[in-house]
Structure 1
C-alpha cells in the first residue's frame, strides 16, 4: 500500500509539472492583459492555433524550438487583432474575445488537417532525477525547459509590475484610464501591446501541448484550457506568482486520473479526468461572491463595473 501511494504521488508530481506548463503561460498572458484593463476570452483559440502552427513548423523545419516561436507568433497576431478591434468605439472586449476564439480554432482546424498524422520532432526534457536510480522518479522529473521559462517569466512579471515604469503604466491603465491619460499614456496602445504580449505567451503554451505533452496535434488538443486559465487568473488574484501555484494545483488535479491508472485503479477513471473542470467550476463559484477577488481586480475590467 505504501509503495502504491509513493507511485501515485510521484506520478502526480510529474503530471502536475507537465499539465501545469501550458496553464502557466496562458494564465500569465491573461494576467498581463487583464492588468491593462482588458479581458481576452479568445486565448482558447490562441492556444489551439499556437499548437497547430507550432506542430506544423516543427514538422516542416525539423526544429521544435522554431515551432515554439511560431506558436508565439500566432498568439501575437491574434492578440494584436483583438487589441485593435477593442480600440474601436463601443466595442465589447468579451464579445471580441469570443469571436477571436472562434477564429483561432477555425483557422487551426482548417489549416491543421494535413498535420494530424505526420510525426513532428518533440521538445527535449531535462532529466533531473536520473541520478537517484529510481525509474519512476526519473520519468516523473523529466522536465521540459519551458516549465522553468514559465516560472522565470512569472518572477520577472511580478517584479516588473512592482518596480518598473512599464509595470506602473500597465497597472495604472488597468486601474484607471483617466489617470493613465493624465500621465500622457495612450490607453489603447498599452492595452493592445499587453494583449499582443499575452497572446504570445498563450501561443507558447499551445506549442507546448503539441510538441511535448501530450505531444501531437489533433482538433481536441486544448480541452478548454484557454478558458480555464481565465478562472485560474481570478483564483490567483491577478498575481503572476500565484498563477504558477494555481497552475500547479490545476495540473495536479489533471494528473489524478493517469496517476491512479498507473497503479491499476481504473474504476471512476473518467470522473477523475474531470477533476480540473470540477475545480474550475468551484473556483468560479467561489470567486463570483468573493469581495477579495473584486478588490484585487483591475478597476477598468468589465467584470468590476
Structure 2
C-alpha cells in the first residue's frame, strides 16, 4: 500500500508533535492559573517541573510502575508548592523573589539526587492509539496520544467549571480579587493561597513526570528547556482561563514541534532555527500582553504583578 503522504506529512507531524509537546505546558499552566487566581504568582514552577521529572523517573525505575512515578512527582510538586506557599504567607515576603529561589532550589536538588538515574531505563507511560482506522504508519504514529494529555484536557474543563460554578472556585476567585473582601466573608486568604499553590505545584510535578516518562522519555539535567517559565507567559496570554490555557498549550506545543518535524522530513539546512520557535513565541506573547490598555485584563486584583 502506498504510504507517501507528500506535503501532508508536515501538518500531520506538527499536530502529533503539538499533542506530545503541549502536555507539560498544559499541566504547568493549569497549576499556575490556579495559583494566580488565588492572588499569588509562582515563578518556581520551572524548578518544580524539573524536580518532578527526576522524582517521577526515579520512582518509576525503583518500583517498575510509571503511574507510581507520576504519583511521586505530584507529591514532590505539592511539597514544593506547599513550601512556597508557607514562605509567601509570612509578612513582607515577595512571592516573585521566593519563586526564583524555589526554582534554583528545585533544579539544584534534582541535579544532585538525579545523577544515579541518568543511565537506568524506567518504564514509560502508556499511550492510546487513535489512528487505528488508518493503515498509514505516519498517521498512526501522529495519533498516539498519551493518557496524561487526555487527563490534562479533562482537568482544563473541570477547572473552568470549578471557577465558574462551584463554591470552591468562588472562594479562590474572591481571595484572588480582594483580600479584604475575603476576610469580610470569613475566609482565610493565606490558607486558600497555600492550598492553591500546593495543588498548582502538584500539577507542575505531573508535567515533569510526563517529560521523563514519555516524551522525551528519559531523565537528564536539560530536560525542561525553560517550559516552566514559558508556562507563566502562557497563563497571562490565556487570561487566566483554564480552557484558553489548553488552547495556548497546543499552540506552544505546535511551535515546539516545528524543529523536530522539519528534521524528520529531511530539511537539513536551517531547521535548527525553528527549535527556537517556542522562545520566540514566548517573547511575542510578552510583548503583546504588555500593552498598557490590555496587559492585565482579567487578572486577579491581588496578583503582585498587577500592583
State the TM-score bracket (shorter-chain normalisation).
Answer: over 0.9
- The structural deviation recorded for 1:295 is 2.4
Match of 2:229 in 1: 227
The SS at the match of 2:224 is: coil
Any unmatched runs of 5+ in structure 2? none
Given candidates 61, 64, 67, the residue that maps to 1:62 is 64
Match of 2:38 in 1: 36
Contact 2:28–2:228 (Cα < 8 Å) also in 1: yes
Match of 2:103 in 1: 101
Cα offsets for 1:169-223 (capped at 9, x unmatched): 0000000000000011101000000000000000000000000000000000000
1:215 and 2:217 are equivalent in the alignment: yes
Match of 1:13 in 2: 15
**In structure 1, distance between residues paired with 2:116 and 2:161:** 43
**In structure 2, distance between residues paired with 1:295 and 1:116:** 43
Map residues 195-214 of structure 1 onto 2, 5 A cutoff: 195-214=197-216
1:291 and 2:293 are equivalent in the alignment: yes
TM-score after normalising by structure 1? 0.98
- The structural deviation recorded for 1:56 is 0.2
**In structure 2, distance between residues paired with 1:120 and 1:21:** 19
Contact 1:4–1:263 (Cα < 8 Å) also in 2: no
Map residues 89-168 of structure 1 onto 2, 5 A cutoff: 89-168=91-170
- The structural deviation recorded for 1:238 is 0.4
Q: Please list every run of at least 4 consecutive aligned residues from structure 1 whose deviation after the TM superposition is greater than 2 angstroms.
A: 290-293
Map residues 263-302 of structure 1 onto 2, 5 A cutoff: 263-289=265-291, 291-302=293-304
TM-score after normalising by structure 2? 0.98
**In structure 1, distance between residues paired with 2:271 and 2:172:** 44
**In structure 2, distance between residues paired with 1:299 and 1:257:** 39
**In structure 1, distance between residues paired with 2:293 and 2:140:** 43
> What is the aligned-residue RMSD (CA, Å)?
0.9
Any unmatched runs of 5+ in structure 1? none
Contact 2:239–2:297 (Cα < 8 Å) also in 1: no
**In structure 1, distance between residues paired with 2:11 and 2:288:** 27
Cα offsets for 1:130-189 (capped at 9, x unmatched): 221111010011000100100100100000001111100000000000000001110100
Match of 2:241 in 1: 239
**In structure 1, distance between residues paired with 2:62 and 2:207:** 20
Contact 1:237–1:293 (Cα < 8 Å) also in 2: no
Count, aligned residues: 304
Match of 1:189 in 2: 191
